[in-house]
């Protein structure tokens, strides 16, 4: 147990002090690797790869890789966590401060978080916000390296350590499972979870299977005593029926969980310790070894090992990790600095034989290849010459008697028995209507040939090499075709024979009766190159320039460029065991999934050269492993049921608003000034990252889609409105619609353009207008009332002045002085007339200057003084006269005083007119009311009050006490005149 830690398992180097800097994982090399699965020991070369030197780029060593659900590849290095999208490496952990802290030893990706465990026992997770959150359970963190992280179906976090066993985080606590609890060892090399939610850990003493239910630990151990071929288990890989276990010295085995036993183990293992195991599609398994590189194992359907071979390019290297990603790429993490990635379902053998014109896999699993220079067979990873060097072979057929039928261009057909090497050539001389045999198919001992001269039926082909007379039957007689060119013959499951013609459509031969599908209007395909029948009994026809037709016996469907087909001309077609259609065209291979309507393309991006295919270049004898011939290449396609990802996916990685990243899952509304927006998007296609193109459109701004290679686009000065950013990947100049990602957002109008504001403004304007109207109405009514008051006052004043009393008194006074002092009388008359003129002059005016009123008062006083003499005293104390008052106001007050008070020598009346604080003009008199009051309407005062109310806010103040009576009238300043 102890020695193995130090000597046999180099992973411990990672954990032991001082050895970190040992040469270890320097370069990352991505290679789209083409590797053979079956019966071959080596391939000639690796056709297509991309190299990335991680030592130069990241300056660190790589420890673990994992892919997240979006497609990003996460790389755990000795200096932090990196995200790789095929083009760029982004450091995601803030690992610059402490390298030791971020020396990553375990990685786990769930749907929203990336978890990583470090050499010092710390664990972090990276959430959607791309911030590193430390995992901090209250129980504390391990003090030894984390060797695995996984979450079970209940969302519980499990982490294994190298030295403290396994931990599980439940809702309440963190629990530890170690040797005291029954675990085999505290040093865990690898941890994985099986479909039954059980945690398997690999240790020096075997495998422990851990469960934690209702607070109880359940640990079951599988050791050598249980049949394991070795005690030291390094690697684990879940399978459908159990678990693959990789050992220190005895290779690997499969442990079946159904019968709790080892149901497969490899014999005579010579490749050292197994560091990693990865199960890929079908029955193939990849084994990474400590110093013998990568091994590729293929299993038979009965579970026995069909073949195992070493990948030449990885020989003598240590493979730490093998990873099969969502897109079918294989990644190798090689100790000697390499990481390979390739298309796991496609292997390519290069050769120099020129065009392969026909491929045929015989029932004994031999792959036969027809070229311009004869017949070859695939042997030991190479094409080996067999026979017929001068024949231009264009079709091949292997019958169930082991004979190979070879169709040539111009030289008829050859029947050859590989066992006896006997052959028979049948040409036009032997009765063949035409020597160019384009296609051969058969059933039991009947054969049908498609030639450039019609269709030939060969019955009783079994005894042909024994000299039996060959009964050729020309079926062309049964048809009425204008062309005798036949390209394809296909015998379906029911024994019906289908023929593809040049321009004449598809012919069907059932019970010796020939039907022309084109002329009968059943199927519009004209020139048909290839035919296949799928498992559900539908027929597929590949045509020249017309795309592909599907025919179910009654109706047909068309598949063309608009559906994603790469080419309208399909030369060969076959269907695999997953129900996918493999279609060969000039530039590559289209794999179509009819269930989902999706395509997977193999072309120069995935390592295929120009194919230049013939009409018989596909052989699907084994529907799981299909052989395809091309120009200088032989391609082995392995059926992949999942066909997970068939094109570059597109991810909107970041959206920045005015240079600041936003949480675009929630934020979709921006204010009017937030109008500068940038989109970063990534297309994940590791096989050929440089070939990914995008098209994007900002609906509401761009009128059309724009095609670009850029992974970023910015829009500035967007006007308010609704926008939708759409981006999708483009392949073969066709947009890949399912990859489309969208982000809708709204830039709001500035607040002064928004509805509520406009409504408010309308309301305000309406209110203001209404207010103004009201004010105007008030003003008009005020004016009207002023006018009315004035007219009334004029009337009163006139009435008062024409009051006979006043005239009588005035004339009396005049009569008294006219003789005594004629001059005074003249003056009196002048004043009287002035007074009346003033009254007449002022009565129409709203306001007059105070001065004018005072002049009038002087005249009026003069007239009164002549009558009352010294018994009446009128005093004026006016400081400032730059005021206005309604006309005849003071006159009316003075007249009132004279009218209502006794004026005698004993009781002289004093009227004072004075200004007060520049605010009021006060007319005051001592109060000595007449005993017999003159009839009063009180009109005068009321009239004054009303007039002032209209003109000013200040009130007219009337004060009356025993001594005096005063009226204060507001002085109106010039500027206050409305």
Partner 1 sequence: MSMLRSLCHLIMVCLLSQSQLGGQVDLFRADDGVVEFTSDAPLELIKANSKVLRGAIDPTENTFAFTIDVKSFEGFNSNLQRTHFNENYLETSKYPRATFAGKIIEQIDWDSEGEYQLRAKGILDIHGVKQERIIPSKVTLFSDRVIIRSEFSVALKEHDIDIPKIVAQKISEEIRVGIEITLYKQNSN
Binding mask 276-315 for partner 1 (x = CB under 8 A): ----------------------------------------
Q: How many CB atoms lie within 10 A of CB 612?
A: 16
Q: Is 173 in the site for partner 1 (CB under 8 A)?
A: yes
Smallest separation (angstroms) from partner 1 to the CB of 108: 21
- Of positions 49, 89, 135, 175, contacts partner 1 by CB under 8 A: 175
What distance in Å separates the CA atoms of residue 365 and residue 377, rounded to the nearest whole number?
A: 11
Binding mask 152-171 for partner 1 (x = CB under 8 A): ------------x-------
Of the candidate spans 175-183, 253-261, 490-498, 876-884, the one that interacts with partner 1 by CB under 8 A turns out to be 175-183
Tokens of 869: 């003499």
In the bound state with partner 1, the residue whose beta carbon lies nearer, of 181 and 702, is 181
Buried b / exposed e across 223-260, counting CB within 10 Å, b at 16+?
A: eeeeebbbbbbbbbbbbeebbbbbbbebbbbbbebeee
In the bound state with partner 1, the residue whose beta carbon lies nearer, of 172 and 823, is 172
Do the Cβ atoms of 543 and 549 come closer than 8 Å?
A: yes
In the bound state with partner 1, the residue whose beta carbon lies nearer, of 181 and 674, is 181
Interacting positions 803-822 with partner 1 (CB under 8 A) = none
Do the Cβ atoms of 873 and 925 come closer than 8 Å?
A: no
Smallest separation (angstroms) from partner 1 to the CB of 243: 25
In the bound state with partner 1, the residue whose beta carbon lies nearer, of 111 and 138, is 138
What distance in Å separates the CA atoms of residue 447 and residue 434, rounded to the nearest whole number?
A: 16
In the bound state with partner 1, the residue whose beta carbon lies nearer, of 173 and 805, is 173
In the bound state with partner 1, the residue whose beta carbon lies nearer, of 174 and 941, is 174
Do the Cβ atoms of 346 and 635 come closer than 8 Å?
A: yes
Tokens of 469: 């007379």
Q: What share of the chain is helix, strand, coil (3-state, %, to 5)?
A: 20, 40, 40
Of the candidate spans 176-184, 490-498, 561-569, 572-580, the one that interacts with partner 1 by CB under 8 A turns out to be 176-184
Cα-based distances in Å from 865 to 327, 412, 872, 907: 124, 159, 6, 15
Residue 710 is classified by DSSP as: -
- Of positions 77, 105, 176, 451, contacts partner 1 by CB under 8 A: 176
Smallest separation (angstroms) from partner 1 to the CB of 121: 10
Phi, psi values for residue 374, rounded to 5°: 105, -165
- Of positions 97, 129, 172, 733, contacts partner 1 by CB under 8 A: 172
Phi, psi values for residue 497, rounded to 5°: -110, 135
* Strands 598-602, 588-593: pairing kind: antiparallel
Q: How far, in whole angstroms, is CA 78 from its chain's centroid?
A: 32
Smallest separation (angstroms) from partner 1 to the CB of 209: 16
- Of positions 178, 249, 612, 632, contacts partner 1 by CB under 8 A: 178
Smallest separation (angstroms) from partner 1 to the CB of 311: 41
Q: How many CB atoms lie within 10 A of CB 870?
A: 8
Tokens of 286: 């990849």
Interacting positions 900-959 with partner 1 (CB under 8 A) = none
Nearest Cα to Cα of residue 434 among 415, 414, 448, 454: 454
What distance in Å separates the CA atoms of residue 258 and residue 242, rounded to the nearest whole number?
A: 7
Binding mask 118-147 for partner 1 (x = CB under 8 A): --------------------xxx-xx----
Do the Cβ atoms of 126 and 163 come closer than 8 Å?
A: no
In the bound state with partner 1, the residue whose beta carbon lies nearer, of 182 and 402, is 182
In the bound state with partner 1, the residue whose beta carbon lies nearer, of 180 and 660, is 180
Smallest separation (angstroms) from partner 1 to the CB of 138: 7
In the bound state with partner 1, the residue whose beta carbon lies nearer, of 144 and 432, is 144
Smallest separation (angstroms) from partner 1 to the CB of 164: 6
Binding mask 208-227 for partner 1 (x = CB under 8 A): -------xxx----------
Of the candidate spans 177-185, 193-201, 496-504, 547-555, the one that interacts with partner 1 by CB under 8 A turns out to be 177-185
Interacting positions 711-730 with partner 1 (CB under 8 A) = none
* Residues binding partner 1: number (CB under 8 A): 18
In the bound state with partner 1, the residue whose beta carbon lies nearer, of 119 and 254, is 119
In the bound state with partner 1, the residue whose beta carbon lies nearer, of 137 and 822, is 137
Smallest separation (angstroms) from partner 1 to the CB of 607: 51
In the bound state with partner 1, the residue whose beta carbon lies nearer, of 175 and 676, is 175
Q: What angle in degrees, to the nearest 10, is found between the helix axes of 755-801 and 822-842?
A: 150
Cα-based distances in Å from 706 to 561, 681, 696: 20, 14, 5
In the bound state with partner 1, the residue whose beta carbon lies nearer, of 217 and 443, is 217
Nearest Cα to Cα of residue 383 among 636, 637, 736, 733: 636
Interacting positions 770-799 with partner 1 (CB under 8 A) = none
Smallest separation (angstroms) from partner 1 to the CB of 189: 19
Of the candidate spans 145-153, 178-186, 675-683, 876-884, the one that interacts with partner 1 by CB under 8 A turns out to be 178-186
What distance in Å separates the CA atoms of residue 645 and residue 653, rounded to the nearest whole number?
A: 19
Tokens of 102: 């971020």
Smallest separation (angstroms) from partner 1 to the CB of 643: 46
What distance in Å separates the CA atoms of residue 879 and residue 874, rounded to the nearest whole number?
A: 16
Do the Cβ atoms of 509 and 496 come closer than 8 Å?
A: yes
Smallest separation (angstroms) from partner 1 to the CB of 328: 42
In the bound state with partner 1, the residue whose beta carbon lies nearer, of 181 and 641, is 181
In the bound state with partner 1, the residue whose beta carbon lies nearer, of 168 and 832, is 168
In the bound state with partner 1, the residue whose beta carbon lies nearer, of 167 and 448, is 167
Rg (CA), the chain: 55
In the bound state with partner 1, the residue whose beta carbon lies nearer, of 216 and 419, is 216
Binding mask 233-252 for partner 1 (x = CB under 8 A): --------------------
What distance in Å separates the CA atoms of residue 448 and residue 578, rounded to the nearest whole number?
A: 28
- Of positions 8, 55, 91, 174, contacts partner 1 by CB under 8 A: 174
Binding mask 455-474 for partner 1 (x = CB under 8 A): --------------------
Smallest separation (angstroms) from partner 1 to the CB of 171: 11
Q: What is the helix (H) or strand (E) element at residue 777, kind and residue range?
A: helix 755-801
Of the candidate spans 94-102, 180-188, 341-349, 544-552, the one that interacts with partner 1 by CB under 8 A turns out to be 180-188
Buried b / exposed e across 148-161, counting CB within 10 Å, b at 16+?
A: bbbbeeeebbbbbb
Smallest separation (angstroms) from partner 1 to the CB of 140: 3
- Of positions 110, 181, 674, 976, contacts partner 1 by CB under 8 A: 181
**Which residues of 131-260 form beta strands (DSSP E)?**
132-134, 146-151, 157-161, 166-169, 174-177, 190-193, 199-203, 206-213, 216-222, 233-238, 242-247, 252-256
What distance in Å separates the CA atoms of residue 687 and residue 691, rounded to the nearest whole number?
A: 9
Q: Is 16 in the site for partner 1 (CB under 8 A)?
A: no
Q: How far, in whole angstroms, is CA 170 from its chain's centroid?
A: 33
Q: How far apart are the first and last CA of the chain?
A: 111
In the bound state with partner 1, the residue whose beta carbon lies nearer, of 208 and 567, is 208
Strand partners, 150: 158
Q: Is 18 in the site for partner 1 (CB under 8 A)?
A: no
Smallest separation (angstroms) from partner 1 to the CB of 166: 12
What distance in Å separates the CA atoms of residue 634 and residue 626, rounded to the nearest whole number?
A: 11
Binding site for partner 1 (CB under 8 A): 138-140, 142-143, 164, 172-176, 178, 180-182, 215-217
């Amino acid at each position: 147990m102890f020695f193995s830690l130090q000597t046999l398992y180099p992973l411990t180097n990672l954990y032991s002090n001082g050895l970190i800097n040992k040469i270890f994982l320097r370069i990352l090399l991505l290679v789209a690797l083409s590797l053979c699965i079956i019966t071959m020991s080596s391939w000639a070369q690796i056709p297509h790869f991309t190299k990335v030197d991680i030592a130069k780029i990241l300056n660190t060593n790589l420890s673990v890789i994992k892919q997240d659900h979006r497609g990003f590849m996460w790389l755990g290095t000795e200096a932090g966590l990196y995200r790789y999208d095929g083009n760029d490496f982004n450091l995601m952990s803030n690992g610059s401060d402490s390298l030791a802290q971020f020396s990553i030893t375990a990685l786990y990706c769930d749907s929203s978080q990336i978890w990583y465990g470090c050499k010092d026992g710390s664990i972090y997770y990276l959430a959607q916000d791309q911030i590193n959150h430390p995992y901090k359970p209250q129980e504390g963190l391990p003090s030894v390296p984390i060797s695995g992280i996984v979450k079970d179906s209940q969302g519980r976090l499990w982490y294994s350590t190298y030295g403290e066993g396994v931990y599980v985080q439940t809702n309440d606590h963190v629990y530890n499972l170690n040797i005291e609890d029954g675990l085999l060892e505290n040093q865990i090399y690898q941890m994985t979870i099986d479909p039954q939610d059980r945690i398997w850990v690999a240790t020096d003493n075997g495998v422990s299977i851990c469960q934690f239910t209702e607070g109880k630990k359940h640990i079951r151990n599988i050791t050598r005593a249980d049949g394991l071929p070795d005690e030291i288990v390094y690697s684990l890989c879940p399978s459908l029926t159990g678990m693959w276990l990789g050992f220190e010295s005895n290779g690997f085995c499969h442990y079946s969980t159904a019968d709790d036993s080892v149901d497969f183990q490899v014999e005579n293992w010579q490749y050292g310790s197994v560091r990693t195991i990865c199960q890929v599609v079908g029955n193939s398994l990849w084994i990474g070894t400590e110093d013998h590189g990568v091994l590729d194992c293929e299993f038979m359907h009965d579970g026995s090992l069909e073949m195992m071979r070493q990948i030449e390019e990885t020989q003598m290297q240590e493979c730490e990790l093998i990873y099969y990603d969502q897109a079918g790429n294989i990644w190798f993490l090689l100790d000697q600095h390499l990481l390979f990635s390739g298309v796991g379902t496609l292997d390519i053998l290069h050769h120099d034989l020129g065009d392969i014109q026909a491929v045929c896999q015989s029932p004994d699993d031999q792959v036969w290849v027809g070229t311009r220079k004869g017949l070859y067979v695939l042997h030991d990873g190479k094409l080996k010459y067999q026979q017929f060097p001068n024949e231009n072979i264009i079709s091949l057929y292997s019958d169930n008697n082991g004979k190979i039928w070879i169709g040539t261009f111009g030289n008829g057909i050859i029947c050859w028995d590989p066992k006896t090497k006997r052959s028979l050539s049948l040409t036009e001389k032997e009765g063949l209507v035409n020597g160019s045999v384009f296609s051969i198919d058969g059933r039991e001992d009947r054969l049908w040939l498609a030639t450039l001269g019609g269709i030939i039926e060969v019955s009783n082909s079994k005894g042909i090499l024994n000299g039996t007379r060959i009964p050729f039957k020309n079926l062309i007689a049964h048809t009425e075709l204008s062309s005798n060119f036949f390209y394809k013959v296909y015998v379906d499951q029911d024994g019906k024979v289908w023929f593809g013609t040049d321009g004449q459509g598809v012919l069907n031969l059932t019970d010796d009766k020939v039907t022309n599908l084109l002329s009968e209007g059943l199927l519009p395909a004209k020139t048909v190159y290839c035919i296949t029948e799928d498992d559900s009994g539908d027929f597929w026809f590949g045509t020249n320039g017309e795309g592909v037709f599907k025919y179910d016996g009654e109706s047909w469907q068309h598949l063309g460029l608009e559906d994603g087909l790469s080419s309208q001309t399909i030369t060969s077609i076959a269907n695999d065991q997953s129900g996918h259609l493999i279609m060969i065209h000039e530039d590559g291979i289209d794999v179509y999934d009819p269930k989902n309507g999706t395509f997977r393309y193999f072309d120069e991006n995935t390592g295929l050269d120009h194919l230049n295919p013939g009409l018989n270049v596909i052989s699907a004898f084994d529907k799981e492993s299909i052989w395809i011939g091309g120009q200088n290449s032989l391609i082995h396609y392995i059926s992949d049921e999942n066909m997970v990802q068939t094109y570059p996916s597109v991810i909107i990685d970041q959206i920045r608003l005015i240079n600041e990243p936003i949480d675009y899952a929630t934020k979709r509304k921006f204010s009017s000034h937030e109008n500068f927006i940038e989109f970063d998007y990534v297309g994940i296609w590791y096989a050929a990252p440089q070939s990914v193109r995008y098209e994007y459109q900002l609906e509401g701004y761009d009128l059309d889609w724009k095609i670009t290679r850029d992974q970023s686009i910015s829009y500035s000065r967007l006007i308010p409105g609704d926008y939708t950013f759409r981006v999708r990947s483009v392949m073969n100049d066709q947009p890949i619609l399912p990859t489309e990602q969208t982000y809708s957002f709204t830039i709001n109008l500035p607040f002064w353009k928004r509805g509520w504001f406009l409504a408010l403004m309308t309301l305000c304007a309406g209110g203001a207008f209404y207010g103004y109207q009201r004010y105007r109405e008030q003003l008009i009514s005020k004016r009207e009332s002023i006018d009315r008051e004035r007219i009334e006052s004029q009337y009163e004043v006139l009435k008062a002045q024409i009051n006979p009393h006043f005239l009588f008194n005035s004339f009396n006074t005049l009569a008294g002085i006219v003789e005594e002092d004629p001059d005074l009388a003249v003056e009196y008359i002048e004043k009287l007339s002035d007074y009346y003129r003033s009254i007449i002059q002022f009565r129409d005016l709203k306001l007059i200057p105070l001065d004018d009123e005072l002049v009038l008062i002087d005249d009026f006083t003069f007239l009164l003084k002549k009558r009352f003499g010294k018994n009446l005293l009128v005093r004026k104390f006016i400081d400032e006269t730059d005021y206005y008052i309604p006309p005849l106001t003071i006159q009316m007050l003075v007249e009132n005083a004279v009218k209502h008070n006794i004026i005698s020598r004993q009781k002289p009346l004093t009227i004072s007119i004075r200004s007060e604080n520049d605010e009021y003009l006060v007319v005051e008199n001592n109060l000595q009311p007449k005993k017999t009051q003159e009839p009063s309407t009180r009109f005068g005062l009321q009239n004054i009050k009303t007039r002032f109310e209209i003109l000013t806010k200040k009130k007219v103040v009337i004060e009356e006490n025993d001594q005096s009576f005063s009226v204060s009238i507001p002085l109106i300043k010039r500027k206050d005149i409305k």
